[in-house]
Amino acid sequence: MTFDLVVRGTVVLPDGPAEDSWVAVSDGKIAAIGTRNAPAAREIFDAGDDLIIPGVVDGQTHACSYGGLPGIRSTTRSAIAGGVTTIVDMPYDNPAPLNTLERLVDKIAAINEHAHADVALYGTIMPGQTTDDIEPLIEGGVVAFKISTFESSPTRFPRIASDQVLATFLALRDTSVPLGVHNEDQEIVRAYIAAAKASNRNGIEAHSGSRPPAAELAATAQFLELGAASGAHAHIVHLTTPRGFQLVDNYLADGFRATGELCVHYLWFDPDRDGAELGARMKVNPPIRPGQIDALWDEILSGRVAFVSSDHSSWPVDNKFTPSIFDAGAGVPGLETLLPAFYTAADNRGLDAAAITVEQLCERPAKFFGLWPKKGAIRLGADADLAVLSRRPQVWDSSRAHDELCWSPFDGRAFCVTVTRTYLGGQLAWDGVAVVNNPGAGRFVRRGSSHWFE
Amino acid sequence: MTFDLVVRGTVVLPDGPAEDSWVAVSDGKIAAIGTRNAPAAREIFDAGDDLIIPGVVDGQTHACSYGGLPGIRSTTRSAIAGGVTTIVDMPYDNPAPLNTLERLVDKIAAINEHAHADVALYGTIMPGQTTDDIEPLIEGGVVAFKISTFESSPTRFPRIASDQVLATFLALRDTSVPLGVHNEDQEIVRAYIAAAKASNRNGIEAHSGSRPPAAELAATAQFLELGAASGAHAHIVHLTTPRGFQLVDNYLADGFRATGELCVHYLWFDPDRDGAELGARMKVNPPIRPGQIDALWDEILSGRVAFVSSDHSSWPVDNKFTPSIFDAGAGVPGLETLLPAFYTAADNRGLDAAAITVEQLCERPAKFFGLWPKKGAIRLGADADLAVLSRRPQVWDSSRAHDELCWSPFDGRAFCVTVTRTYLGGQLAWDGVAVVNNPGAGRFVRRGSSHWFE
Amino acid sequence: MTFDLVVRGTVVLPDGPAEDSWVAVSDGKIAAIGTRNAPAAREIFDAGDDLIIPGVVDGQTHACSYGGLPGIRSTTRSAIAGGVTTIVDMPYDNPAPLNTLERLVDKIAAINEHAHADVALYGTIMPGQTTDDIEPLIEGGVVAFKISTFESSPTRFPRIASDQVLATFLALRDTSVPLGVHNEDQEIVRAYIAAAKASNRNGIEAHSGSRPPAAELAATAQFLELGAASGAHAHIVHLTTPRGFQLVDNYLADGFRATGELCVHYLWFDPDRDGAELGARMKVNPPIRPGQIDALWDEILSGRVAFVSSDHSSWPVDNKFTPSIFDAGAGVPGLETLLPAFYTAADNRGLDAAAITVEQLCERPAKFFGLWPKKGAIRLGADADLAVLSRRPQVWDSSRAHDELCWSPFDGRAFCVTVTRTYLGGQLAWDGVAVVNNPGAGRFVRRGSSHWFE
Amino acid sequence: MTFDLVVRGTVVLPDGPAEDSWVAVSDGKIAAIGTRNAPAAREIFDAGDDLIIPGVVDGQTHACSYGGLPGIRSTTRSAIAGGVTTIVDMPYDNPAPLNTLERLVDKIAAINEHAHADVALYGTIMPGQTTDDIEPLIEGGVVAFKISTFESSPTRFPRIASDQVLATFLALRDTSVPLGVHNEDQEIVRAYIAAAKASNRNGIEAHSGSRPPAAELAATAQFLELGAASGAHAHIVHLTTPRGFQLVDNYLADGFRATGELCVHYLWFDPDRDGAELGARMKVNPPIRPGQIDALWDEILSGRVAFVSSDHSSWPVDNKFTPSIFDAGAGVPGLETLLPAFYTAADNRGLDAAAITVEQLCERPAKFFGLWPKKGAIRLGADADLAVLSRRPQVWDSSRAHDELCWSPFDGRAFCVTVTRTYLGGQLAWDGVAVVNNPGAGRFVRRGSSHWFE
């Protein structure tokens, strides 16, 4: 027989890398995996000793916060250029969030029109909304729901009161679908920001203190307990300190379904070291805390982190140029840097970077969102989503990024690897120079049957 | 030498009961303890084989919620008649709570005028109040602070926002003074009550569900985490299910200062069994839950309960006669029944009732509030606060109670013991028929140096 | 390219079965794994929907106890017919055990002459022997050492005194090589057998009691502590009750290297149920205990069992026909039944039999003895040792076994699967009817670098 | 009324010291305890602010190893002079151990004739002895049994084989009576001593290594497991390293009855520091290990030590003057130094010496051996056994000891306290200068009903 495609190189399989090996593709799926002599194929790419890894599943992106549904186009173009073949997009779209089946249908249509990468979707609920829309959204294929305990925008990103959080959990209790939370206590954050403003502390160095760990942890603890009380899966979409992961672990130990996620910027930046240089360019919520990087890596190594994501936000940099840090938009672009940045940070710590990258960026998010075994691993029958990772060093230059934003906190940072090819469903999508697939090549992917807690 | 007083009987000492023994008193303190032949004394009372126990320390009372500071008189009169020689009174006085040194001075004056029993005091803070009053109140002798996450009254019993809870914890972090909480999530409770009303569920059977365990536990989890974040001692003044004690235990295991309290009605009543008979007479907040009694006793036996109190409320029964359970006042009288009810319940379960009663009603609350070793044990040098507990059965009849309220959920319940004498500081205060000491015989007692977490 | 061999079927990969898939072999190694259309090969075998699993690694066999080194021939012939492609043979050869490099050389020569399957080897030490031979034996390739605390034979299977056990552990402390033990306290066993004989209890029902759990556990505890004191890896080659695995687990929790193994007969037979039928045919040491089967499966599922083996013994059945159970030889043939018996027992319990079989009989023993990744998994680059497992039921008939013993406790037992093919290094060795490879086709395999405790 | 005796001072009660207090005695029992003004008594002793503590219960002594039963006289005289009012004597009497009711009767007779202090007794069994004598010995009042896994003397202190250990445990399983063990593996010790001798290492510095921790721990692990297998209470009479206490703790955690004891010399001496000075004068078995003192105190503070004893041995010092350490007798005199040495060591570490001394030397051994509440605490109804401990420093001079041995490893050591009076059953027994009670004043004390594991 003749395969559609064979990619040769050091193939990173679930139980480790295999040198001088190959992946063969038929009909968009991985059809064979072998070592040394490759079989015949209509197309053969020899990556030498570059790493061939599963396409990354970025579990937290905001494609449509700024530009609405068309934002999918530039976001997924950036994803593909960064080796990310699936994004899990948050529901806080502009001008209105994904909280009904109708909006899901619209967003799927936009994916079909715009997406360069596959897209899975979060849903949400709005204040006052009943839980009647939850089941249709699950049947429609959303992979998770998310709410916030802090109001970033009344129409797009509102605070959900605890009775409605509880109602949502109860509607999800008999499913495997997680409810995620943006975890900040609104009363504490507002009081602390007011106090900071009153004392004229307006720079990035005031940001972490203005949304203190106590605000994050109080919201986390309350949310986890509501999840426990209802029996549903409670997920904290970002935790910035080890205490947060300890809380999650206590719920697991007590027999409940609880998880916590990290974003790559918490593993890279420190306001004490980088604040003067980056200013609002490193403003995210909850804030990056001083002195946490080592401790957060320990959390990863201890297995208490569900997975690592980018929390990619599509804000133009103008959004950051404000006199006060409190007026600057929160969030940073991150899709195109996720893979090289995480790999580099792991490598710099002396870890087995290939293994931990595939675990945290591919396998774990795929399993978490019910996309495994289609996504997240190089295994027979999986989608032929592949990234070729060359051990060629680079210095990040966001002016060449594909997200139309062209700014990044990683600008000028050295990465030890470069994404030189990306395949989506066996089709070349990124050739190291340009995104070569068409908008609409990416598809909407539904939650499947894989369950995290089994 | 000649003692002022000798009381003979079965003396319940810290390490167990001593039959045919005696306690000798000089200058209001316990001066000697012996067995068999008693020494000379100006007054000798022979209790036969009745139990002589330390006067009870009721760690949660509301003497002044209804009648204001003069409420101390009837409340402490009822205390003395029930073997309770010290009450720890909550700050939610009518018309204004104890939140400043000035109000503390007023309440101490009222104690000096009215009290039949010793009185220790909780303080509180009001919305918008700074933490400046906390240190003066501690220096003034309060034993603890309390706030609520649910607003029962805007002026007397308000909800405190989480930023202010955090500020209060931070003001207490370097002290041994606990911050207690009335632990119910306001948003959930209000939403659930509205739903119950909307569906015309208005009886006592709707009460537990209208303030569901999730509301109680979410508030508990958030409060414990704020305590942990600040390093202060967080105390939950009532937990109605084992999950609450598990939460507290998780914080202890993580190295934080956390405790949880039980009230005796949670150990006696069950809405499924008693609701039809008692109706609003058993309405307390958080509610008594169905089917929890056995599990809560297990919590006591496992050592996870800080102590047991009455949560005595001074509401006239009229307050309960409302068409809807949601309009009925919450809280029940309980001072005079605390000791016989707890002893009886323990005895009915086959426990060593004398030992567990002295532990939970005397020693533990005394240690918790910094009153030990003056209070809580029959030991040399302690205040000669004693209760004589006869193994004479009785059926409770609140019409003979000394609290001026004359109603009780315990009416008609059989107790296996009767309080036949109470001594306060070596003075006879209750002779089994009447309260014989004068208003003002009781004194204000300050927090001392005993620490719970040492 | 053209492969040497392709085997098609339901391939049981490390992360689960892949239907309609294939394994391709070049130069005796697994060169490719694929699904659906198979590549060209000089030889193709289509197993339909039969399971293709890694060849079994039987971690405990006694090929040479009776017939000396030539016993390798019939033992490995039986192995191959049972889907076992590697045996780990015990050192207690007749007439003298493998305790020097010279004897290792002899045994390797015998393997090269006789073996139908690959063979890894245990070494041992004899009473009075220094530890000087240990390092040469490790360099010679033994995978583990074993001693006994009970003397079965003074020249072949002696008791090793505790000072020598300690010395052996100390010689192994800086290696990954385990020291295994036959764990029975000699004093207790001899006293209990004497007592049983004195009271004329001579049947199989007296066997378990004559070597009571206390004898097994006392020897286990002492051995584990000697391992802990020296820092070496202590391995208990058979534990018959959950308490043994609890002991092992305590050592792991205390930071020491400790493991415990199960044999398949402990998971199949119960003397209370089967004793009357089987008599001495089920005599093994330590004995099979009454009522342990369910509890031992729980140990497997909890992850506390290192792996499952056969403890195959090459005794002729005459050895069992004695008037007293105490004169009967201990041990049973088991190589050819190991795979179908374990699979069937797992299947009967409703477990995922394919997954648990590959884990317990292939992957875990391969990792334990340092044979992974060459052995134990269907993965690129591994030896092409494969067993084809058909879901065709059979009733075991030992008269057709290939071990020249022709008796078995499994006679008449129903198995739900049949081994229909075995490949050793890509060569057909068993075709479902006959062993078709030649003596000497099997090779000696050395301990490699895989480490259990990493 | 008039008491027989009143002793005034700082009375160390179970919950702490009471200054300016007193203990009153009637009929040999503690009849009253008070503070300040003491009652009338036929005899009053005012100890000023000296400590009044319960008489010490020394849980491990060897009164009769050397001089036979008459050794009770000098041993208990020394006890009384050291504030020890009860000794628990080991069974290894000269010429024959206490292993039958007849020998118990003889030893009780010797106590009645010779004892200056109360005496409780261990029993033992001899090799080959059935368990028939165990129940009569328990009925006769022994408080515990002891065996050894190492043979110090074939007739007096033999090794007991593991089958007999198991039989003894089984005979004790339904009782609260512990089986203690001298815990050293004979094979290891003999091999290591032979090796030391062969290499001419003969000094005290070779002693610990010649009986290595592995020997002690292997015997401990085996013994604990035999106890667990039978359900009886297993007690290790001396553990010299934290690992031993960890082992005991593992058994407790697994639900078995297990305990471990410390002797005061393990808390005082270190062969690296004191070996050159003391030589064989510090030889005990198991040996004092280098560098363990701090870790063993941590064990005490963590609650994992059952109690502390002296292991007093009655060897004349000639026994120590041998060319080789291996020929020197093991054991040291220690009764008269136990109390001041332990108190001083605790005080030097900044601990609450009075509290920890009363806990470890009085209360815990009394409870362990079933002597509480008669012994071990100053409480109503207890035997009036009291020691007066003055805070007067002293330098130990064994030439003035009362044990007829007149040597000690403590010679020249500074103690911060001095035993100035001892009362036995309310009778003055030691006045600070001389032992003033008569032989026979001490009585045999039986095991009572107090149970350690309740």
pLDDT digits (tens, 9 = 90+) for B165-219: 999 999 999 999 999 999 999 999 999 999 999 999 999 989 999 999 999 999 9
Tokens at D67, concatenated: 């001089």
Residues of C with CB under 8 A from a CB of A: 1, 13-16, 18, 21, 24, 26, 29-39, 373, 377, 379-381
- pLDDT of res. D211: 97
Which tokens in the block code for residue A246? Answer: 């300890």
> Is there a contact between C374 and C445 (Cβ–Cβ < 8 Å)?
yes
What's residue D327's pLDDT? 94
Is position B401 within any domain?
Answer: no
Q: What is the pLDDT of residue C34?
A: 97
Q: Which two tokens stand for residue D152?
A: 């110090």
C-alpha C311/C-alpha C269 separation (Å) is: 15
Of C185, C192, C224, the CB nearest to D221: C224
**Is there a contact between C214 and D229 if contact means CB atoms under 8 Å apart?**
yes
Question: Which SS3 state, helix, strand or coil, does residue C52 take?
Answer: strand
Tell the residue number behind the tokens 């057709």, with chain if given: C400
pLDDT at C454 over 80: no
Side by side, the strands of the sheet bearing D56-62 are D258-260, D234-236, D179-182, D144-148, D118-123, D84-89, D56-62, D312-313
What is the rounded CA–CA span in Å between residue B70 and residue B90?
14
pLDDT of D1 > 70? The answer is: no
Do B380 and D34 count as a contact with CB atoms less than 8 A apart? yes
Q: Which chains touch B (3 or more CB pairs under 8 A)?
A: A, D
What would the pLDDT profile of B357-401 be if each residue is shown by its tens digit? 999 999 999 999 999 999 999 999 999 999 999 999 999 999 999
Contacts of A173 in chain B (CB under 8 A): none
Across the interface, do D185 and C162 touch by the CB < 8 Å criterion? yes
Q: Evaluate whether residue D115 is within a structural domain.
A: yes
Read off the pLDDT of each residue in D374-390 and give the average, rounded to a whole number: 97
- Residues whose CB falls within 8 Å of the CB of residue A57, separated by 6 or more in sequence, listed in order: A84, A85, A86, A87, A88, A361, A362, A365, A366, A369, A371, A375, A376
Q: Give the nearest chain A residue to B185 (CA atoms).
A: A162
pLDDT by residue for chain A (454 residues), tens only, comes to: 689 999 999 999 998 999 999 999 999 999 999 999 889 999 999 999 999 999 999 999 999 999 999 999 999 999 999 999 999 999 999 999 999 999 999 999 999 999 999 999 999 999 999 999 999 999 999 999 999 999 999 999 999 999 999 999 999 999 999 999 999 999 999 999 999 999 999 999 899 999 999 999 999 999 999 999 999 999 999 999 999 999 999 999 999 999 999 999 999 999 999 999 999 999 999 999 999 999 999 999 999 999 999 999 988 998 898 999 999 999 999 999 999 999 999 999 999 999 999 999 999 999 999 999 999 999 999 999 999 999 999 999 999 999 999 999 999 999 999 999 999 999 999 999 999 999 999 999 999 987 899 7
pTM: 0.93
Decide if C179 contacts C227 (C-beta within 8 A): yes
Residue C158: predicted pLDDT: 97
Would the CA dihedral through D135, D137, D139, D141 be positive or negative?
Answer: negative
Q: Spell out which residues of chain B touch residue D29, defining contact as CB-CB under 8 Å.
A: 35
- Amino acid (one-letter) located at B379: R
Beta-bridge partner residues of C41 = C3
Name which of A15, A21, A386, A1 is nearest C8 in CA terms. Answer: A1
Q: Which two tokens stand for residue D139?
A: 């009925």
Helix (H, G, I), strand (E, B) or coil at B188: helix
- Integer Cα distance of B362 and B374 in angstroms: 11
- The answer to whether C397 and C340 have CB atoms below 8 angstroms apart is no
**For residue D48, is it within any domain?**
no
What total of structural domains would you count in chain C? 1
Taking CB atoms and an 8 Å limit, are B380 and D31 in contact across chains?
Answer: no
Q: How many CB pairs under 8 A join A and B?
A: 85
Partners of residue D33 in chain B, C-beta under 8 Å: 32-34, 380
Structure tokens at D313: 């041995």
CA atoms within 13 A on the CB side of B241: 19
Query: What are the chain D neighbours of C213 within 8 Å (beta carbons)?
Result: 229
**Residue A223, helix vs strand vs coil:** helix
SS3 A163: helix
CA distance A23 to A17: 12
Among the listed residues A2, A7, A45, A47, the one whose alpha carbon sits nearest the alpha carbon of residue A26 = A2
Contact yes or no for B188 and A163 at CB 8 A: yes
Q: Is the pLDDT of residue B222 over 70?
A: yes
- Find the mean pLDDT for residues C132-142: 98
Bridge partner residues of B388 (DSSP): B52, B421
pLDDT by residue (tens digit) across B249-304?
Answer: 999 999 999 999 999 999 999 999 999 999 999 999 999 999 999 999 999 999 99
**3 state DSSP class of D6:** strand
Does the residue B218 lie in any domain?
A: yes
pLDDT of D246 higher than 80: yes
Residue C1 has pLDDT above 70, yes or no: no
Q: How far, in Å, CA of A152 to CA of A330, rounded?
A: 10
Q: Is A204 helix (H, G, I), strand (E, B) or coil?
A: helix
Is residue D339 in some structural domain?
yes
Contact by Cβ (8 Å): D148, D236: no
Per-chain mean pLDDT for chain C: 97
pLDDT of residue A368: 98
Residue C59 to residue D419: CA distance in whole angstroms: 66
Establish whether the linkage from the previous residue to C39 is cis, with ω within 30° of 0.
Answer: no
* Rounded Cα gap, residues C336 and C80, in angstroms: 8
Q: Are strands C234-236 and C258-260 parallel, antiparallel or unpaired?
A: parallel
From C225, C243, C250, residue closest to D217, measured CB to CB: C225
Distance CA A179, CA A237 (A): 10
Owning domain of residue B317: 55-368
User: Is D32 within the bounds of a domain?
Assistant: no
Amino acid at D15: D
- CA of B100: how far to CAs of B14, B40, B107, B424, D163, in Å? 37, 48, 11, 29, 75
Which pLDDT belongs to residue B451?
Answer: 80
- Measured between CA atoms, how close is D205 to chain C, in angstroms? 20
**B133 near B125, Cβ under 8 Å?**
yes
Least confident segment among A189-193, A394-398, B73-77, C201-205: C201-205
Q: Which helix (H) or strand (E) holds B19?
A: strand B16-26
Across the C:D interface, residue pairs with CB atoms under 8 Å apart total: 85
**CB B344, CB B414: distance < 8 Å:** yes
CA distance linking residue B36 with residue C447, whole number of Å? 79
Local structure of residue A318 (DSSP, 8 states): G
The helix/strand/coil state of D329 is coil
Q: What is the pLDDT of residue A29?
A: 97
**Whole-number Å distance between alpha carbons of B173 and B178:** 9
* Two tokens, residue A62: 């905001």
* Phi (first) and psi of residue D266, to 5 degrees: -70, -20
Helices (H), D309-372: 335-348, 353-357, 364-368
Q: Under DSSP, is residue A327 helix (H, G, I), strand (E, B) or coil?
A: helix
Q: Which CATH number do you get for residue A348? A: 3.20.20.140
Q: Residue B11: enclosing H or E segment and its boundaries?
A: strand B3-13
Instruction: Provide the token pair at C167.
Output: 């010395």
Average pLDDT, stretch C101-127? 98
Which ranges of C20-118 would DSSP assign to H, the alpha helix? 71-81, 101-114
The secondary structure element, H or E, covering residue C53 is strand C41-54
- Closest chain C residue to A27, measured at CA: C36
How far is CA B449 from its chain centroid?
20
* Rounded-to-integer distance, Cα B312 and Cα B332, Å: 6
What residues of chain D lie within 8 A of the CB of B6, using their CB? Answer: none
- What lies within 8 Å, CB to CB, of D215 at 6+ separation is D184, D185, D188, D189, D192, D286
Measure the CA–CA gap between D454 and D450, rounded to whole angstroms: 9
Asked whether residue A5 is domain-assigned, the answer is: no
Residue C452 burial class via C-beta count within 10 angstroms: exposed 0-12, middle 13-18, buried 19 and up: middle
Q: What is the pLDDT of residues C228-280, one digit of tens each?
A: 999 999 999 999 999 999 999 999 999 999 999 999 999 999 999 999 999 99
Question: Could you tell me if A37 and A286 are in contact, meaning their C-beta atoms sit under 8 angstroms apart?
Answer: no
Count of helix runs (H) and strand runs (E) in chain B: 13, 19
C32 and A31: CB-CB below 8 Å?
Answer: no
CB nearest to C185's CB, from D162, D185, D217: D162
| pLDDT for res C451 | 80
Q: How far is CA A266 from CA A205, A288, A290, B283, B327, in A?
A: 15, 6, 10, 49, 50
Q: Give strand pairing partners of C54.
A: C386
Q: In what order do the strands lie in the sheet with C118-123?
A: C258-260, C234-236, C179-182, C144-148, C118-123, C84-89, C56-62, C312-313
Note whether residue C36 is domain-resident: no
Please check whether residue A247 is in contact with residue B225, taking contact to mean a CB–CB distance below 8 angstroms: yes
Question: Quick one: A302 exposed, middle or buried, by C-beta within 10 A (0-12, 13-18, 19+)?
Answer: exposed
| A33·C31 Cβ contact <8 A | no
pLDDT of residue D125: 98
Q: What is the pLDDT of residues D344-380, one digit of tens each?
A: 999 999 999 999 999 999 999 999 999 999 999 999 9
What is the arithmetic mean of pLDDT over D238-249?
Answer: 98
CA D81-D388-B10 angle, to 5 degrees, is: 120
- Kind and range of the H or E run holding D54: strand D41-54
- Smallest CA–CA distance from D254 into chain C, residue: C246
For the segment C373-390, what is each residue's pLDDT rounded down to a tens digit? 999 999 999 999 999 999
Q: What's the half-sphere exposure (Cβ side, CA atoms, 13 Å) at B192?
A: 22
